[in-house]
Structure formats: structure tokens, C-alpha cells
Amino acid sequence: MRPMSLVHSCSIFTGSSFIKTTPINNKPTFKIHQRPTIRSTISAAIVEEEVVELQQKPKPTFNFNAYMLGKGNSVHKALDESIMIKNPPTIHEAMRYSLLAGGKRVRPILCIAACELVGGEEATAMPAACAVEMIHTMSLIHDDLPCMDNDDFRRGKPTNHKVYGEDVAVLAGDSLLAFAFEYVSSRTEGASPARVLAAIGELAKSIGTEGLVAGQVVDIASTGGQDIGLDQLEFIHIHKTAALLEASVVLGAILGGGSDAQVEKLRTFARCIGLLFQVVDDILDVTKSSEELGKTAGKDLLVDKTTYPKLLGLDKSRQFAEELLAEAKQQLEEFESQAAVAPLLALAEYIAYRQN
């Protein structure tokens, strides 16, 4: 009786053929067969159907306007509830006048978007987002004073000192600055005390002599100067403008539970868009009217302030803006969730291409 042997078959697909191996009596035999035509046709048809289906399936889109409107309304509501009219009424009215005067709310929305990108909740970031807007409003009130930029209009309305007087305007700014720290420290929920403390440290650093104040001092000293180069101009704007935008993003990332690596990526992203914001501001100052900007246009030229268009010209300033935007986008490439990244990408593009 012939001994039974194990029969094993396998197919190895190579190109348009496959090799079928069938060992018989321990002697392997090899036969090469053409892949059945019908199989190829069916496979191709399936692939084509899948491609067509993918092409016809609508790609998810990010509605930037709806996002900004929704987040902006949430921020405005929180700001409105943060400061009530109480005794003495004048100072609280002055604080609310500038804080609720409108604006794009870019900084608080950046804070919330960064928090959500690393897995945090809007509610966790909201006190910090409000604090950033309070400090930004303080800087605008003080910037507009006669001893600084001496401006009459802000966000399409008379500046704070034009309505309440210089003395109250100074105190309104001071009050907003102090209250910002009280608000973020007492109202933040959903983050550990260590993260809240780290966020407060970042915020303080961004507005002191390593941030906003440093930029403002050098800016004042440089106005009318003849030897202001790109390095000094960049120092001014990284400190005066970019520092608070950077803090907005970093605060959100810290409070949202971001890792050290994520926080640093977002820090670089924010520094790029912060400088980008100022480059675009300089461009708009010489290309738009006061009505379009909601503030006095051409003011930098009148006071002989050094700007990017003045040093580089408009074309190279626009090119520099594009380079900053590209660098900012690159920092977001390593984040896995494209849906979560979308708000920050859209905000970066908004800053780059805004018209006022």
C-alpha cells in the first residue's frame, strides 16, 4: 500500500503570474500559471469602484467663519460676565468699555484652540483666554495714551482716554492687568495646580521686561531713529506683539495637558504667527484707510516709526510674511489629529491674509 503523503499548496503572486508548489512523495514540482483573467478584471473593477467612491465622497471641510463666531461669542460672554459694574462705577465702566469694544478675539481663541489640540476642554482654557484678552486690552489702552502713541480711535471707537480721561484710562489698564492674574488663578478648573502655576508664570513673563514692556521700550527709543536694522525691528515685534500671542498658545497647551514637546512646538508656531501678525499690520498701515482699519492709518509714517515696508519694501515684506506662515504651518505637521489642527492652521492663514 502506498504510504500517504502530506499535500501542501501555496500561491506566491509575482507580477501577472503565480507559482503553485505541490510536493508529492517528497519531490516538489513547480508549475507556472497565468493569473486568471477574470480575477484581474474583477480586482480592477473593484479598485476602480473604490476610487470613484472616494473621489465622490465629500471631504470634510473646516468652517473657519463658524468656528470664529462660535468661539468669539463664548469668549465675549465670559468677558462680559467677568467684570460687573460696582463701586466705584467709573473704573469698572472704563474697564468694560475697552474690554467689550469688539475686536477679533484672536488671542483668546488661539488659547482655546491650543488647549483643545492637546486634548483639553474649552472650559479649562476660558479663564486664561479671558486673562490674555484683559492684558491685551490693557496694552491697547496704554498704547493709545498721549505719552505713548497718542491715538484717538481704537476698534472704530474713541480711545479710552478720550472718553474717561487720561487718569482713569491709566487706572483702567492697571486694573485689567491685576484682575487678569486674579481671574486665571481663581477660575481655572480641570488643570492641576502645577499647570495653573506654570501658566501664570508664562503670562507674567510675556508682559514684563522679557516681553511686551521690553518691546515697547525699544520701540519708543527707536522712533525717529536712522540706524534701525532688521535685527532691532525683529526684537521689538517679537517682544511687543509676538510675546502675548505666544503666551496665548502656550497657556492653552499647558492647561490642556500638553507634553513638553507639544508645548515647545506650539511655542515656535505662536512666535512665527506673532511676528507674522506685526508684519501684516505694518503692510496694512500703508495700504488701507482708517475706515478699513478701524484705527488711524499711516500713523507709523507720520511719527517716522521703523516698519517692515520701510526697511524691506512692500514686496519683500509680503514675501517675509509668506515665509513666516510656512514655518508656522510646519510646526503643526507632527500632530496626529488633522481635525484638531485645523483651527490653528486656519487662524495662521487668517492672520496672514486679514484685511484689517
CATH number of the domain within which 76 lies: 1.10.600.10
| 29 inside domain | no
| 181 inside domain | yes
Ranges in the chain, pLDDT < 70: 1-60, 225-226, 289-304
Instruction: State the pLDDT at residue 334.
Output: 83
| 38 inside domain | no
| 105 inside domain | yes
| 20 inside domain | no
**What CA–CA distance (Å, rounded) separates 239 from 214?**
6
Can you give the residue range of the structural domain that contains 309?
64-353
**What CA–CA distance (Å, rounded) separates 97 from 190?**
31
Cell (9 digits) for 356? 484689517
Total Cβ atoms within 10 A of residue 221: 12
| 282 inside domain | yes
Instruction: State the pLDDT at residue 146.
Output: 94
The neighbouring-strand residues paired with 158 are: 153
| 343 inside domain | yes
Cα dihedral sign, 156-162-166-167? negative
Residue that the C-alpha cell 492709518 belongs to: 297
| 2 inside domain | no
Instruction: State the pLDDT at residue 182.
Output: 97
**What CA–CA distance (Å, rounded) separates 129 from 184?**
8
Instruction: State the pLDDT at residue 18.
Output: 34
Instruction: State the pLDDT at residue 16.
Output: 36
Q: What's the number of domains the chain is made of?
A: 1
Report how far apart the first and last C-alpha atoms of the chain are (Å, whole number): 96
